Structure 1
């Protein structure tokens, strides 16, 4: 599974085995062995590969179908924020005016973060 995923990712990145190997500071033969399934990378190289391809080790190993959980996470909505706040300890005990102030602050910060992306 890992070997197929590595080949697919490399081709998506439009890289040769030589380029990837050079970027990871390993030999092309060694990288080729990863793609052909003749050799498995050690943990250090596996982590390097995950970073290189902007994914997770779980995805590379076929344990997750989510390529980049941070990128693919759905955007939070105002309703998500209100739900999260309602589950926060002590939030329900606050006066309505304070709860509204906190909710609006959280929503404004989230909107600011979205604009900065």
Structure 2
């Protein structure tokens, strides 16, 4: 599930929600709703997160366990 993966990535890097929210130009509450699975995440936002964390959209979407992005 996307929301679990973005939360785990954030926690693995010891980032606060407010840091990622600022990166995405949204408020912390909106980002928190992403992590709880309450609000759908746009493809554009997922691309930003995948680029930021250096992973693939497939990893974020739980289609693979491989965090390495495609070439």
TM over 0.5: yes
Residue 14 of structure 1: CA displacement?
0.6
- The structure that has the greater radius of gyration is 1
1:58 Cα shift? Answer: 0.5
Task: Note the alpha carbon deviations across 1:24-76, whole angstroms, 9 max, x for none.
Answer: 21111111111000012111101001111110111000011110146xxxxxx
Aligned residue in 2 for 1:68: 68
Cα 1:40–1:46 shift into 2, 3 Å: same
Which residue of structure 1 aligns with residue 3 of structure 2?
Answer: 3
The alignment's TM-score, normalised by the length of structure 2, stands at: 0.90
Count of aligned positions:
70
CA distance, structure 2, for counterparts of residue 40 and residue 18 of structure 1: 18
- Runs (4 or more) in structure 1 with deviation over 4 Å come to none
Q: Distance in 2 between matches of 1:16 and 1:26?
A: 14
| Uncovered stretches (5+) of structure 1, i.e. residues with no partner | 71-117
What are the ranges of 5 or more consecutive residues in structure 2 without an aligned counterpart? none
Say what the alpha-carbon RMSD is for the aligned residues.
1.1
